[in-house]
Amino acid sequence: MTNLFCGRRSAAWLIMSALAAAVPAAYAADAYPCQVLRIVSPYPAGGTTDILARLIGPGLSKGLGVPVIVDNKAGASSNIGTESVVRSQADGCTALLGNNTGIVINRNLYKLKYEPTRDLTAVGLVASTPLLLYVNAEFPAKSVAELVDLLKKSPGKYSYASGGSGSPQHLLGEMIKIQKSVFMVHIPYRGQGPAQQDVLGGTVPIAFETITALTPQLKSPRIRVLATTSAKRDPKLPEVPTMNESGFTDFAFENWYGLFVPSKTPAPVVERLSQELQKVLRSPEVTAKLAELGSRDVSGTPAQAAKFIAKELPQWEAVVKRSGATVD
């Protein structure tokens, strides 16, 4: 009887030990170490960054098993929101939906208290999209050539909007001024959403905007698209010429966006977040939405994102120098 009891107790102990060993493994594989994932969008609502953050949020929430909230922290051309993530706990509970402005451009224009490429770790890229040069429908120019003629005839009479000093939208406006020896006044806003609204309303007549953020307005009678910054004409807008076709040189640029966490975030957490991000970006609904918004597929691993960003650093540094842009 004693041997039978001991045998049963030993078997029960083995089963319990096996279950106990399995629990941490399951926890490591399935449970995300946060009650909430906060994605900081360093711009106001309505711009491309905000749109993308809210697009990937539901899928990440489902995959991670925690609520995902988008926190708009605008200001200083995305520096305020970016720095808030740099200074946050490196636990995977706070992420940044950043773009080329905050990650590779601002370091050439501002005296930052942090180094984005050192103090942030790329989880993965989310999207890459060309920009459109567009004007308010009441503006007299019907083409880029007519726009340049107006700027030459009336230096300083016209202005262009951007989401902030140092943004690609700002730099591309400066590139027009440099390449064509014209002058227009730069009006920086606290994000592309407010800038777009003022162009739609006619307060400022000219701007660049990503095709992603401008998609809802492409059929609007309030704007006119003059050109795209893509290397080739966009399939969605086959009638719109590229900037290079419109008399400019080396004028092919895209805005890219990625998910980042503080650099000391544990590698397993980064990897888990990366895997879930890639699942979201491969999902049919998100893939279709990104295509609708004019984005090309740039999804990949953290290592692939880091390699991509390393190539972007010297390219945008050269654009800043060529444009002669300064912080307003």
Distances (CA, A) of 78 to 39, 113, 244: 14, 14, 29
Convert the pLDDT of each residue in 227-271 to its tens digit: 999 999 998 899 999 999 999 999 999 999 999 999 999 999 999
Distances (CA, A) of 125 to 83, 281, 321: 19, 10, 26
Mean pLDDT over 113-134 rounds to 97
As a whole number of angstroms, the distance between CA 37 and CA 49 comes to 17
Mean per-residue pLDDT of the chain: 90
| pLDDT the model gives residue 24 | 36
For the stretch 202-227, pLDDT in tens is 999 999 999 999 999 999 999 999 99
The model carries a pTM of: 0.82
Classify 324 as helix, strand or coil. coil
Task: Give the domains, in start order, of the chain with CATH numbers.
Answer: 30-127+255-323 (3.40.190.150), 130-228 (3.40.190.10)
Name the β-bridge partners of 242.
Answer: 228
Kindly provide the residue ranges of all beta strands, DSSP E only, lying in the chain, ordered along the sequence: 37-41, 68-72, 94-99, 120-136, 159-162, 185-188, 206-210, 223-228, 254-262
What is the predicted pLDDT for the residue at 328?
65
Give the model confidence (pLDDT) of 270-280 as tens digits. 999 999 999 99
Closest CA to 259 of 301, 312, 307, 200: 301
- Rounded Cα–Cα distance for residues 47 and 97 (Å): 12
